A = this chain, B = another copy of it.
Amino acid sequence: MGKILRVNMADRTARFEEVPEAYRLMGGRWLTTSMVCDEVDPMCHPLGPNNKIVIAPGIVTGTAAPTSARVSVGGKSPLTGGIKEANAGSTFPPQMARMGLKAIVIEGQPEEKGKFWTLRVGVDSATFEPADEWLGRSLREVFPEIFGRYGKKTGICAIGMVGERLMSNAGICFNDVDGRASRYAGRGGLGAVLGSKGLKLILLDDSGASPVPLADKERFHAGRKALTEALRTHAVTKPGGALNSYGTAVLINIMNEAGGLPTRNFSSGTFEGAAKVAGEAINEGAKERGGAGRTGHNCSPGCIIKCSNVWPHPDGTEHASCLEYESLWAFGPNCGIDDLDIVAELVQLCNDYGLDTIEAGNVIAVAMEAGLAEFGDGEKAIELMHEIGKGTPLGQILGSGATITGNTFGVVRIPAVKGQAMPAYEPRAVKGIGITYATTTMGADHTAGYTIAPEILAVGGDEDALEVKGKADTSRNLQTATAFLDATGHCLFIAFAILDIVEGFNGMIEECNGVLGTEWTADDVTRIGHEILKKERAFNEAAGFTPLDDRMPEFMRYEKLPPHNTVWDVPDEMLDSVWNF
Protein backbone atom coordinates (compact mmCIF):
# COMPACT_ATOMS: atom_id res chain seq x y z
CA MET A 1 0.00 0.00 0.00
CA GLY A 2 2.57 2.52 -1.06
CA LYS A 3 5.86 3.48 0.49
CA ILE A 4 7.63 6.26 2.28
CA LEU A 5 10.71 7.89 0.82
CA ARG A 6 13.07 8.89 3.62
CA VAL A 7 15.79 11.34 2.67
CA ASN A 8 18.69 12.23 4.94
CA MET A 9 20.45 15.41 3.91
CA ALA A 10 23.33 14.89 6.35
CA ASP A 11 24.83 12.24 4.08
CA ARG A 12 22.49 12.61 1.08
CA THR A 13 20.99 9.19 1.29
CA ALA A 14 17.46 8.21 0.34
CA ARG A 15 15.63 4.98 0.95
CA PHE A 16 12.15 3.63 0.37
CA GLU A 17 10.43 2.25 3.45
CA GLU A 18 7.33 0.22 4.02
CA VAL A 19 4.40 2.18 5.35
CA PRO A 20 3.93 1.28 9.03
CA GLU A 21 0.50 -0.13 9.79
CA ALA A 22 -0.27 2.87 11.99
CA TYR A 23 -0.04 5.16 8.98
CA ARG A 24 -1.82 2.90 6.49
CA LEU A 25 -5.11 4.80 6.34
CA MET A 26 -3.59 8.23 6.66
CA GLY A 27 -2.95 10.92 4.10
CA GLY A 28 -2.40 14.66 3.87
CA ARG A 29 -2.41 16.57 7.13
CA TRP A 30 -3.28 13.45 9.14
CA LEU A 31 -0.08 11.81 8.00
CA THR A 32 2.21 14.85 8.12
CA THR A 33 0.98 15.71 11.61
CA SER A 34 1.32 12.14 12.84
CA MET A 35 4.82 11.70 11.47
CA VAL A 36 5.99 15.06 12.77
CA CYS A 37 4.58 14.21 16.20
CA ASP A 38 6.20 10.77 16.14
CA GLU A 39 9.59 11.85 14.85
CA VAL A 40 10.32 15.49 15.65
CA ASP A 41 11.39 16.75 19.08
CA PRO A 42 8.97 19.61 19.77
CA MET A 43 11.81 21.50 21.49
CA CYS A 44 14.15 21.33 18.50
CA HIS A 45 15.27 24.45 16.69
CA PRO A 46 13.14 24.68 13.53
CA LEU A 47 16.23 25.28 11.39
CA GLY A 48 18.46 22.81 13.20
CA PRO A 49 19.35 19.23 12.29
CA ASN A 50 16.50 17.68 14.27
CA ASN A 51 13.52 19.20 12.50
CA LYS A 52 11.99 17.30 9.57
CA ILE A 53 9.80 18.04 6.60
CA VAL A 54 7.06 15.57 5.71
CA ILE A 55 5.30 15.84 2.35
CA ALA A 56 2.15 13.80 1.81
CA PRO A 57 -0.66 13.79 -0.75
CA GLY A 58 -4.21 13.27 0.51
CA ILE A 59 -6.08 9.99 0.89
CA VAL A 60 -7.99 10.37 -2.40
CA THR A 61 -5.35 12.43 -4.21
CA GLY A 62 -4.43 10.93 -7.57
CA THR A 63 -7.89 9.37 -8.04
CA ALA A 64 -10.76 10.81 -10.05
CA ALA A 65 -12.15 12.49 -6.92
CA PRO A 66 -12.95 16.09 -7.84
CA THR A 67 -10.80 18.97 -6.62
CA SER A 68 -8.51 16.67 -4.66
CA ALA A 69 -5.01 17.28 -6.03
CA ARG A 70 -3.54 18.65 -2.85
CA VAL A 71 -0.36 17.92 -0.98
CA SER A 72 0.31 18.62 2.68
CA VAL A 73 3.68 19.73 3.99
CA GLY A 74 4.40 19.38 7.69
CA GLY A 75 7.18 20.22 10.13
CA LYS A 76 8.01 22.49 13.03
CA SER A 77 7.49 26.07 11.93
CA PRO A 78 10.23 28.70 12.26
CA LEU A 79 7.51 31.34 12.22
CA THR A 80 5.33 29.98 15.03
CA GLY A 81 7.64 27.57 16.83
CA GLY A 82 4.77 25.08 16.70
CA ILE A 83 3.64 22.33 14.38
CA LYS A 84 2.71 23.34 10.88
CA GLU A 85 0.74 21.89 8.02
CA ALA A 86 0.41 23.89 4.84
CA ASN A 87 -1.07 22.49 1.65
CA ALA A 88 -1.19 23.32 -2.03
CA GLY A 89 -2.84 22.17 -5.25
CA SER A 90 -0.59 21.13 -8.12
CA THR A 91 0.15 18.32 -10.54
CA PHE A 92 2.77 17.20 -8.03
CA PRO A 93 0.39 15.59 -5.52
CA PRO A 94 -1.47 13.25 -7.90
CA GLN A 95 1.86 12.27 -9.44
CA MET A 96 3.23 11.50 -6.01
CA ALA A 97 0.14 9.43 -5.21
CA ARG A 98 0.33 7.46 -8.43
CA MET A 99 4.00 6.79 -7.83
CA GLY A 100 2.91 5.07 -4.64
CA LEU A 101 4.58 7.70 -2.45
CA LYS A 102 2.58 8.05 0.73
CA ALA A 103 5.11 10.52 2.05
CA ILE A 104 8.54 11.99 1.48
CA VAL A 105 10.40 12.69 4.72
CA ILE A 106 13.36 15.07 4.65
CA GLU A 107 15.63 14.89 7.68
CA GLY A 108 19.17 15.71 8.73
CA GLN A 109 21.28 18.63 7.67
CA PRO A 110 24.54 18.90 5.72
CA GLU A 111 27.49 20.27 7.69
CA GLU A 112 28.45 22.58 4.85
CA LYS A 113 26.25 25.67 4.76
CA GLY A 114 25.11 27.32 1.56
CA LYS A 115 25.32 24.20 -0.58
CA PHE A 116 22.02 23.10 -2.16
CA TRP A 117 20.79 19.99 -3.87
CA THR A 118 18.12 18.75 -6.22
CA LEU A 119 16.41 15.49 -5.31
CA ARG A 120 15.13 13.59 -8.34
CA VAL A 121 12.52 10.98 -7.55
CA GLY A 122 11.30 8.25 -9.86
CA VAL A 123 9.02 5.32 -9.14
CA ASP A 124 11.89 3.29 -7.72
CA SER A 125 14.73 5.77 -7.59
CA ALA A 126 15.92 8.82 -5.70
CA THR A 127 19.11 10.61 -6.70
CA PHE A 128 20.81 13.89 -5.92
CA GLU A 129 22.27 16.56 -8.17
CA PRO A 130 23.93 19.84 -7.21
CA ALA A 131 21.42 22.69 -7.44
CA ASP A 132 23.94 25.51 -7.81
CA GLU A 133 22.61 26.73 -11.13
CA TRP A 134 19.12 27.37 -9.71
CA LEU A 135 20.20 29.37 -6.69
CA GLY A 136 19.39 33.02 -6.10
CA ARG A 137 17.10 33.16 -9.11
CA SER A 138 13.44 33.95 -9.64
CA LEU A 139 11.31 30.81 -9.68
CA ARG A 140 9.57 32.30 -12.72
CA GLU A 141 12.81 31.71 -14.60
CA VAL A 142 13.75 28.47 -12.93
CA PHE A 143 10.58 26.45 -13.52
CA PRO A 144 10.55 26.72 -17.34
CA GLU A 145 14.21 25.71 -17.46
CA ILE A 146 13.48 22.68 -15.32
CA PHE A 147 10.66 21.63 -17.61
CA GLY A 148 13.02 22.09 -20.54
CA ARG A 149 15.70 19.99 -18.91
CA TYR A 150 13.63 17.25 -17.28
CA GLY A 151 10.45 17.18 -19.33
CA LYS A 152 7.18 19.05 -19.27
CA LYS A 153 5.47 16.56 -17.03
CA THR A 154 7.97 16.99 -14.21
CA GLY A 155 6.36 17.63 -10.84
CA ILE A 156 8.21 20.37 -9.03
CA CYS A 157 8.52 21.15 -5.36
CA ALA A 158 10.89 24.07 -4.77
CA ILE A 159 12.02 26.77 -2.46
CA GLY A 160 12.81 30.24 -3.69
CA MET A 161 15.72 32.46 -2.81
CA VAL A 162 14.16 33.40 0.52
CA GLY A 163 14.12 29.74 1.49
CA GLU A 164 17.79 29.46 0.57
CA ARG A 165 18.41 32.43 2.89
CA LEU A 166 16.44 30.78 5.71
CA MET A 167 13.88 33.55 6.04
CA SER A 168 10.95 32.59 8.22
CA ASN A 169 8.35 33.55 5.62
CA ALA A 170 9.67 31.20 2.97
CA GLY A 171 6.96 29.01 1.47
CA ILE A 172 7.23 25.79 -0.49
CA CYS A 173 6.30 26.20 -4.13
CA PHE A 174 4.68 23.69 -6.48
CA ASN A 175 3.90 24.03 -10.18
CA ASP A 176 0.35 24.74 -11.30
CA VAL A 177 -1.30 22.84 -14.17
CA ASP A 178 0.34 25.12 -16.70
CA GLY A 179 3.76 24.87 -15.11
CA ARG A 180 3.76 28.18 -13.27
CA ALA A 181 5.69 28.58 -10.03
CA SER A 182 2.57 29.72 -8.27
CA ARG A 183 1.05 27.13 -5.95
CA TYR A 184 2.32 27.47 -2.44
CA ALA A 185 2.24 25.50 0.75
CA GLY A 186 2.94 28.97 1.95
CA ARG A 187 2.29 29.55 5.56
CA GLY A 188 4.63 29.08 8.47
CA GLY A 189 8.00 29.27 6.79
CA LEU A 190 8.50 25.60 5.95
CA GLY A 191 10.54 26.75 2.94
CA ALA A 192 13.22 27.90 5.36
CA VAL A 193 13.24 24.43 6.94
CA LEU A 194 13.83 22.88 3.53
CA GLY A 195 16.50 25.54 2.99
CA SER A 196 18.16 24.63 6.27
CA LYS A 197 18.47 21.09 4.93
CA GLY A 198 20.13 22.23 1.72
CA LEU A 199 17.30 20.97 -0.44
CA LYS A 200 16.35 23.35 -3.24
CA LEU A 201 14.21 21.14 -5.46
CA ILE A 202 12.30 17.88 -5.45
CA LEU A 203 11.53 16.74 -9.00
CA LEU A 204 9.10 13.95 -9.73
CA ASP A 205 9.29 11.73 -12.80
CA ASP A 206 6.15 9.59 -12.72
CA SER A 207 7.09 7.35 -15.65
CA GLY A 208 5.84 3.89 -14.88
CA ALA A 209 3.46 5.06 -12.17
CA SER A 210 0.20 3.16 -11.67
CA PRO A 211 -3.29 4.34 -10.88
CA VAL A 212 -4.03 4.79 -7.20
CA PRO A 213 -5.48 1.43 -6.11
CA LEU A 214 -9.14 1.47 -5.09
CA ALA A 215 -10.29 -1.04 -2.48
CA ASP A 216 -13.90 -0.68 -3.59
CA LYS A 217 -14.31 0.93 -6.99
CA GLU A 218 -18.08 1.18 -6.96
CA ARG A 219 -18.18 2.76 -3.59
CA PHE A 220 -15.50 5.22 -4.58
CA HIS A 221 -17.30 6.22 -7.74
CA ALA A 222 -20.63 6.60 -6.02
CA GLY A 223 -18.96 8.92 -3.54
CA ARG A 224 -17.13 10.82 -6.24
CA LYS A 225 -20.38 11.34 -8.17
CA ALA A 226 -22.25 12.59 -5.11
CA LEU A 227 -19.51 15.06 -4.26
CA THR A 228 -19.22 16.18 -7.86
CA GLU A 229 -22.94 16.73 -8.03
CA ALA A 230 -22.84 18.83 -4.87
CA LEU A 231 -19.99 20.94 -6.22
CA ARG A 232 -21.82 21.44 -9.50
CA THR A 233 -25.00 22.49 -7.71
CA HIS A 234 -23.94 24.80 -4.90
CA ALA A 235 -24.10 28.50 -5.69
CA VAL A 236 -20.57 29.12 -4.45
CA THR A 237 -18.83 26.22 -6.20
CA LYS A 238 -20.90 25.54 -9.34
CA PRO A 239 -19.74 26.40 -12.83
CA GLY A 240 -20.53 30.05 -13.36
CA GLY A 241 -20.95 30.38 -9.61
CA ALA A 242 -19.27 32.86 -7.31
CA LEU A 243 -15.83 31.22 -7.14
CA ASN A 244 -15.74 30.20 -10.76
CA SER A 245 -16.69 33.65 -12.02
CA TYR A 246 -14.88 35.96 -9.67
CA GLY A 247 -12.40 33.78 -7.88
CA THR A 248 -11.97 33.97 -4.15
CA ALA A 249 -11.64 37.73 -4.57
CA VAL A 250 -15.40 37.82 -4.76
CA LEU A 251 -14.99 38.25 -1.01
CA ILE A 252 -13.44 41.71 -1.22
CA ASN A 253 -16.73 43.53 -1.68
CA ILE A 254 -18.55 41.17 0.65
CA MET A 255 -16.08 41.61 3.51
CA ASN A 256 -15.95 45.34 2.92
CA GLU A 257 -19.73 45.52 3.17
CA ALA A 258 -19.55 43.56 6.40
CA GLY A 259 -17.02 45.99 7.85
CA GLY A 260 -14.61 43.13 8.30
CA LEU A 261 -12.04 43.84 5.57
CA PRO A 262 -8.82 44.61 7.48
CA THR A 263 -7.50 47.86 6.12
CA ARG A 264 -4.20 49.70 6.63
CA ASN A 265 -2.70 47.19 9.00
CA PHE A 266 -5.88 46.30 10.81
CA SER A 267 -6.84 49.85 11.69
CA SER A 268 -10.21 49.84 9.91
CA GLY A 269 -12.74 47.28 8.67
CA THR A 270 -13.56 49.03 5.41
CA PHE A 271 -11.47 50.23 2.49
CA GLU A 272 -12.68 53.01 0.24
CA GLY A 273 -10.85 51.48 -2.72
CA ALA A 274 -12.25 47.97 -2.24
CA ALA A 275 -14.26 47.84 -5.47
CA LYS A 276 -11.15 48.61 -7.51
CA VAL A 277 -9.41 45.45 -6.34
CA ALA A 278 -12.46 43.19 -6.02
CA GLY A 279 -13.13 39.93 -7.86
CA GLU A 280 -15.60 41.72 -10.07
CA ALA A 281 -12.86 44.12 -11.19
CA ILE A 282 -10.52 41.21 -11.94
CA ASN A 283 -13.16 39.48 -13.98
CA GLU A 284 -13.88 42.62 -15.97
CA GLY A 285 -10.25 43.66 -16.31
CA ALA A 286 -9.11 40.25 -17.47
CA LYS A 287 -11.84 40.20 -20.11
CA GLU A 288 -11.17 43.75 -21.26
CA ARG A 289 -7.44 43.34 -21.56
CA GLY A 290 -7.80 39.86 -23.07
CA GLY A 291 -4.65 38.01 -24.04
CA ALA A 292 -3.37 35.83 -21.23
CA GLY A 293 -5.95 37.17 -18.80
CA ARG A 294 -8.54 34.77 -17.55
CA THR A 295 -10.72 33.78 -14.67
CA GLY A 296 -12.24 30.39 -13.97
CA HIS A 297 -8.79 28.87 -14.20
CA ASN A 298 -7.90 25.65 -12.37
CA CYS A 299 -4.74 25.50 -10.29
CA SER A 300 -4.51 21.73 -10.23
CA PRO A 301 -5.74 18.81 -12.31
CA GLY A 302 -9.25 17.52 -11.70
CA CYS A 303 -10.61 20.66 -10.11
CA ILE A 304 -14.15 21.47 -11.10
CA ILE A 305 -14.49 24.66 -9.06
CA LYS A 306 -11.75 26.53 -10.97
CA CYS A 307 -11.39 29.64 -8.84
CA SER A 308 -7.91 30.63 -10.00
CA ASN A 309 -7.12 33.39 -12.45
CA VAL A 310 -4.38 34.93 -14.54
CA TRP A 311 -4.04 38.69 -14.43
CA PRO A 312 -2.74 40.31 -17.60
CA HIS A 313 -0.68 43.41 -18.18
CA PRO A 314 -2.54 46.17 -20.04
CA ASP A 315 -1.10 44.73 -23.27
CA GLY A 316 -2.58 41.32 -22.54
CA THR A 317 0.65 39.56 -21.66
CA GLU A 318 0.65 37.56 -18.46
CA HIS A 319 1.42 39.42 -15.27
CA ALA A 320 0.53 37.27 -12.29
CA SER A 321 -1.32 34.18 -11.20
CA CYS A 322 -3.21 33.93 -9.01
CA LEU A 323 -4.84 37.04 -7.59
CA GLU A 324 -6.77 35.27 -4.93
CA TYR A 325 -8.60 36.99 -2.13
CA GLU A 326 -6.00 36.61 0.59
CA SER A 327 -3.06 37.74 -1.54
CA LEU A 328 -5.00 40.58 -3.05
CA TRP A 329 -6.24 41.76 0.33
CA ALA A 330 -2.81 41.47 1.95
CA PHE A 331 -1.14 43.81 -0.52
CA GLY A 332 -4.29 45.75 -1.41
CA PRO A 333 -6.63 46.98 1.35
CA ASN A 334 -4.25 45.99 4.12
CA CYS A 335 -1.58 48.25 2.61
CA GLY A 336 -4.09 50.88 1.49
CA ILE A 337 -3.34 50.06 -2.15
CA ASP A 338 -6.21 50.07 -4.66
CA ASP A 339 -4.38 49.35 -7.92
CA LEU A 340 -4.69 45.82 -9.32
CA ASP A 341 -1.52 46.09 -11.38
CA ILE A 342 0.51 47.05 -8.34
CA VAL A 343 -1.05 44.28 -6.32
CA ALA A 344 -0.40 41.81 -9.15
CA GLU A 345 3.25 42.81 -9.17
CA LEU A 346 3.53 42.33 -5.41
CA VAL A 347 1.89 38.91 -5.61
CA GLN A 348 4.10 37.89 -8.47
CA LEU A 349 7.20 38.94 -6.54
CA CYS A 350 6.12 36.54 -3.78
CA ASN A 351 5.88 33.77 -6.35
CA ASP A 352 9.25 34.73 -7.80
CA TYR A 353 11.09 34.93 -4.49
CA GLY A 354 9.30 32.13 -2.69
CA LEU A 355 7.19 33.94 -0.10
CA ASP A 356 3.81 33.40 1.46
CA THR A 357 1.59 36.24 0.28
CA ILE A 358 -0.54 36.61 3.41
CA GLU A 359 2.47 37.05 5.65
CA ALA A 360 4.29 39.21 3.09
CA GLY A 361 1.37 41.61 2.73
CA ASN A 362 1.13 41.90 6.48
CA VAL A 363 4.86 42.59 6.57
CA ILE A 364 4.51 45.51 4.17
CA ALA A 365 1.59 46.87 6.18
CA VAL A 366 3.56 46.61 9.44
CA ALA A 367 6.52 48.25 7.71
CA MET A 368 4.20 51.06 6.63
CA GLU A 369 3.05 51.37 10.22
CA ALA A 370 6.73 51.63 11.18
CA GLY A 371 7.15 54.50 8.75
CA LEU A 372 9.12 52.74 6.03
CA ALA A 373 6.47 53.77 3.51
CA GLU A 374 3.14 55.57 3.43
CA PHE A 375 0.00 53.49 3.34
CA GLY A 376 -1.10 53.37 -0.28
CA ASP A 377 2.36 53.88 -1.74
CA GLY A 378 2.49 50.98 -4.15
CA GLU A 379 5.82 51.88 -5.72
CA LYS A 380 7.49 51.92 -2.34
CA ALA A 381 5.82 48.64 -1.45
CA ILE A 382 7.38 47.10 -4.56
CA GLU A 383 10.76 48.52 -3.56
CA LEU A 384 10.43 46.95 -0.13
CA MET A 385 9.65 43.60 -1.71
CA HIS A 386 12.75 43.90 -3.86
CA GLU A 387 14.79 44.34 -0.68
CA ILE A 388 13.69 40.82 0.21
CA GLY A 389 14.81 39.58 -3.15
CA LYS A 390 18.15 41.28 -2.80
CA GLY A 391 18.62 39.82 0.65
CA THR A 392 19.66 43.14 2.18
CA PRO A 393 19.37 43.42 5.95
CA LEU A 394 16.04 45.19 5.46
CA GLY A 395 15.05 42.36 3.17
CA GLN A 396 16.02 39.81 5.79
CA ILE A 397 13.73 41.54 8.27
CA LEU A 398 10.83 41.75 5.85
CA GLY A 399 11.34 38.16 4.74
CA SER A 400 11.12 37.01 8.32
CA GLY A 401 7.45 37.83 8.76
CA ALA A 402 5.27 40.45 10.37
CA THR A 403 6.16 39.67 13.98
CA ILE A 404 9.92 40.02 13.51
CA THR A 405 9.34 43.10 11.36
CA GLY A 406 7.16 44.67 14.01
CA ASN A 407 9.45 43.73 16.87
CA THR A 408 12.51 45.03 15.04
CA PHE A 409 10.90 48.40 14.46
CA GLY A 410 9.04 48.67 17.76
CA VAL A 411 5.56 48.39 16.25
CA VAL A 412 2.82 47.49 18.73
CA ARG A 413 0.02 46.84 16.22
CA ILE A 414 1.17 43.47 14.95
CA PRO A 415 -1.84 41.45 13.83
CA ALA A 416 -0.52 37.98 14.58
CA VAL A 417 -1.20 34.94 16.73
CA LYS A 418 1.62 32.58 17.68
CA GLY A 419 3.91 34.67 15.49
CA GLN A 420 1.89 34.17 12.30
CA ALA A 421 0.11 37.13 10.73
CA MET A 422 -3.64 37.21 10.26
CA PRO A 423 -5.49 36.56 7.03
CA ALA A 424 -8.13 38.80 5.47
CA TYR A 425 -10.90 38.78 8.05
CA GLU A 426 -11.10 41.19 10.97
CA PRO A 427 -11.63 39.34 14.25
CA ARG A 428 -13.24 42.37 15.87
CA ALA A 429 -15.92 42.35 13.17
CA VAL A 430 -16.20 38.59 12.66
CA LYS A 431 -15.88 36.96 16.03
CA GLY A 432 -15.85 33.32 15.02
CA ILE A 433 -12.89 33.65 12.70
CA GLY A 434 -11.02 35.35 15.52
CA ILE A 435 -11.67 32.29 17.66
CA THR A 436 -10.18 30.15 14.92
CA TYR A 437 -7.16 32.46 14.59
CA ALA A 438 -6.59 32.32 18.32
CA THR A 439 -7.09 28.66 18.98
CA THR A 440 -5.85 26.79 15.95
CA THR A 441 -2.54 25.03 16.38
CA MET A 442 -1.31 26.78 13.24
CA GLY A 443 -1.06 30.42 14.29
CA ALA A 444 -3.52 32.89 12.78
CA ASP A 445 -5.06 30.87 9.94
CA HIS A 446 -8.48 31.16 8.37
CA THR A 447 -8.32 27.81 6.61
CA ALA A 448 -8.10 25.94 9.91
CA GLY A 449 -11.77 26.58 10.68
CA TYR A 450 -13.43 28.82 8.16
CA THR A 451 -16.27 30.34 10.15
CA ILE A 452 -16.68 32.94 7.42
CA ALA A 453 -18.96 30.39 5.75
CA PRO A 454 -21.76 30.64 8.33
CA GLU A 455 -20.87 34.11 9.65
CA ILE A 456 -20.70 35.98 6.35
CA LEU A 457 -21.81 33.70 3.51
CA ALA A 458 -24.76 31.93 5.17
CA VAL A 459 -23.20 28.63 4.20
CA GLY A 460 -23.48 25.77 6.69
CA GLY A 461 -25.66 27.98 8.92
CA ASP A 462 -26.41 31.65 9.23
CA GLU A 463 -24.75 33.39 12.15
CA ASP A 464 -24.35 37.04 13.15
CA ALA A 465 -20.70 37.95 12.57
CA LEU A 466 -20.60 40.38 15.50
CA GLU A 467 -22.20 37.96 17.93
CA VAL A 468 -19.90 36.05 20.26
CA LYS A 469 -22.33 33.47 21.60
CA GLY A 470 -22.01 29.98 20.20
CA LYS A 471 -18.93 30.77 18.17
CA ALA A 472 -16.59 28.47 20.04
CA ASP A 473 -18.79 25.61 18.87
CA THR A 474 -18.80 26.95 15.32
CA SER A 475 -15.03 27.18 15.28
CA ARG A 476 -14.48 23.80 16.95
CA ASN A 477 -16.81 22.01 14.55
CA LEU A 478 -15.20 23.58 11.53
CA GLN A 479 -11.66 23.00 12.80
CA THR A 480 -12.55 19.35 13.30
CA ALA A 481 -14.13 18.85 9.88
CA THR A 482 -11.30 20.76 8.23
CA ALA A 483 -8.63 18.59 9.79
CA PHE A 484 -10.34 15.59 8.22
CA LEU A 485 -10.82 17.38 4.92
CA ASP A 486 -7.10 18.25 4.89
CA ALA A 487 -6.40 14.53 5.29
CA THR A 488 -8.42 13.62 2.23
CA GLY A 489 -6.49 15.82 -0.19
CA HIS A 490 -9.55 17.78 -1.22
CA CYS A 491 -9.33 21.51 -1.53
CA LEU A 492 -10.92 23.35 1.39
CA PHE A 493 -13.33 24.95 -1.04
CA ILE A 494 -15.39 21.79 -1.36
CA ALA A 495 -16.53 22.78 2.14
CA PHE A 496 -18.98 25.33 0.77
CA ALA A 497 -20.87 22.57 -1.00
CA ILE A 498 -20.61 19.82 1.59
CA LEU A 499 -21.60 22.05 4.51
CA ASP A 500 -24.93 22.69 2.80
CA ILE A 501 -25.44 19.45 0.86
CA VAL A 502 -25.28 16.33 3.01
CA GLU A 503 -24.98 14.00 0.02
CA GLY A 504 -21.80 15.80 -0.92
CA PHE A 505 -20.44 15.43 2.59
CA ASN A 506 -21.21 11.72 2.58
CA GLY A 507 -19.75 11.49 -0.91
CA MET A 508 -16.41 12.72 0.43
CA ILE A 509 -16.47 10.00 3.08
CA GLU A 510 -17.46 7.34 0.58
CA GLU A 511 -14.57 8.32 -1.68
CA CYS A 512 -12.25 7.60 1.24
CA ASN A 513 -14.01 4.31 1.99
CA GLY A 514 -13.69 3.39 -1.68
CA VAL A 515 -9.96 4.05 -1.66
CA LEU A 516 -9.17 2.53 1.72
CA GLY A 517 -11.77 -0.21 2.15
CA THR A 518 -12.95 1.39 5.39
CA GLU A 519 -16.46 1.84 6.69
CA TRP A 520 -16.19 5.41 7.86
CA THR A 521 -19.24 7.50 8.65
CA ALA A 522 -19.68 11.10 9.74
CA ASP A 523 -18.63 9.97 13.22
CA ASP A 524 -15.24 9.01 11.84
CA VAL A 525 -14.84 12.45 10.35
CA THR A 526 -15.18 13.82 13.86
CA ARG A 527 -13.00 11.10 15.36
CA ILE A 528 -10.20 11.59 12.87
CA GLY A 529 -10.51 15.37 12.96
CA HIS A 530 -10.19 15.28 16.73
CA GLU A 531 -7.25 12.92 16.55
CA ILE A 532 -5.39 15.27 14.22
CA LEU A 533 -6.14 18.35 16.31
CA LYS A 534 -5.17 16.62 19.55
CA LYS A 535 -1.88 15.46 18.13
CA GLU A 536 -1.07 18.94 16.93
CA ARG A 537 -2.10 20.44 20.24
CA ALA A 538 0.09 17.95 22.12
CA PHE A 539 3.04 18.84 19.94
CA ASN A 540 2.56 22.52 20.62
CA GLU A 541 2.21 21.93 24.36
CA ALA A 542 5.44 19.97 24.29
CA ALA A 543 6.99 22.89 22.42
CA GLY A 544 6.01 25.24 25.25
CA PHE A 545 2.61 26.57 24.18
CA THR A 546 -0.15 27.19 26.71
CA PRO A 547 -3.72 28.46 26.43
CA LEU A 548 -2.20 31.94 26.78
CA ASP A 549 -0.80 31.49 23.29
CA ASP A 550 -4.41 31.17 22.13
CA ARG A 551 -5.02 34.89 22.51
CA MET A 552 -5.49 37.86 20.24
CA PRO A 553 -2.86 40.60 20.18
CA GLU A 554 -3.51 43.07 22.96
CA PHE A 555 -4.25 46.06 20.71
CA MET A 556 -7.45 44.42 19.51
CA ARG A 557 -8.72 44.48 23.07
CA TYR A 558 -8.43 48.26 23.42
CA GLU A 559 -8.56 49.69 19.88
CA LYS A 560 -12.10 50.03 18.54
CA LEU A 561 -12.40 48.99 14.92
CA PRO A 562 -14.43 51.18 12.58
CA PRO A 563 -17.09 51.03 11.27
CA HIS A 564 -18.66 48.86 13.99
CA ASN A 565 -16.41 50.34 16.67
CA THR A 566 -16.07 46.99 18.33
CA VAL A 567 -13.13 45.51 20.20
CA TRP A 568 -12.11 41.90 20.61
CA ASP A 569 -14.37 40.81 23.43
CA VAL A 570 -14.46 37.03 23.25
CA PRO A 571 -13.83 35.81 26.81
CA ASP A 572 -10.71 33.75 27.40
CA GLU A 573 -12.81 30.93 28.83
CA MET A 574 -14.70 30.71 25.55
CA LEU A 575 -11.43 30.51 23.64
CA ASP A 576 -10.23 27.74 25.92
CA SER A 577 -13.54 25.88 25.51
CA VAL A 578 -12.70 25.25 21.86
CA TRP A 579 -10.42 22.52 23.12
CA ASN A 580 -13.09 20.81 25.22
CA PHE A 581 -13.47 17.60 23.27
Contact = CB atoms under 8 A, between A and B. Distances in A.
A543 interface: yes
B400 A192 contact: no
A50 B557 CA distance: 12
A45 B78 CA distance: 22
Given A192-B410, A407-B168, A43 B548 contact: yes
B412 A47 contact: yes
Contact of A554 (B45, B166, B400): B45
Interface stretch (A86-94, A208-216, A242-250, A390-398): A390-398
A404 B408 contact: yes
A140 to B, nearest CB: 24
Interface string A554-569: 1100100000000000
A148 interface: no
Interface in A73-91: 78
A553 interface: yes
A3 interface: no
Contacts of A44: 554
Interface string A43-64: 1110111100000000000000
A546 interface: yes
A558 B108 CA distance: 13
A165 interface: yes
A387 B549 CA distance: 34
A544 B554 contact: no
Given A43-B548, A45-B555, A392-B393, 13 more contacts: A41-B554, A44-B554, A45-B412, A45-B553, A45-B554, A48-B412, A50-B558, A166-B410, A195-B410, A397-B408, A404-B404, A404-B407, A544-B549
A402 to B, nearest CB: 13
Contacts of A48: 412, 554-555
A374 to B, nearest CB: 15
A393 B404 contact: no
B549 A410 contact: no
The 3 A-B pairs at the shortest CB distance, nearest first, are namely A166-B410, A393-B394, A544-B548
A102 B381 CA distance: 49
Contact of A167 (B49, B78, B410, B546): B410
A133 B543 CA distance: 47
Nearest to A557: B43
Contacts of A196: 410, 412
A292 B345 CA distance: 60
B166 A409 contact: yes
A221 interface: no
21 contacts: A41-B554, A43-B551, A43-B554, A45-B554, A47-B410, A47-B412, A48-B554, A50-B558, A78-B407, A166-B409, A168-B407, A393-B397, A393-B408, A397-B397, A400-B407, A404-B407, A404-B408, A542-B548, A543-B548, A544-B548, A546-B546
Interface centre among A165, A392, A410, A558 (most CB of B within 10 A): A410
Contacts of A41: 554
Contacts of A542: 548
A352 B49 CA distance: 40
Interface in A532-558: 542-544, 546, 548-549, 551, 553-555, 558
A409 to B, nearest CB: 6
Nearest to A401: B407
Contacts of A554: 41, 43-45, 48, 50
Interface string A141-185: 000000000000000000000000111100000000000000000
Contacts of A394: 393-394
Could you say which of A166, A392, A553 has the most chain B C-beta atoms within 10 Å of its C-beta?
A166
A525 B471 CA distance: 50
Contacts of A43: 548, 551, 554
Contacts of A45: 412, 553-555
Contact of A396 (B392, B408, B543, B553): B408
Nearest to A167: B410
A167 B410 CA distance: 6
A338 B553 CA distance: 45
Nearest to A46: B412
A193 B393 CA distance: 25
A542 B554 CA distance: 14
B412 A396 contact: no
Contacts of A404: 404, 407-408
Max chain B Cβ within 10 angstroms of own Cβ: one of A48, A393, A396, A409: A393
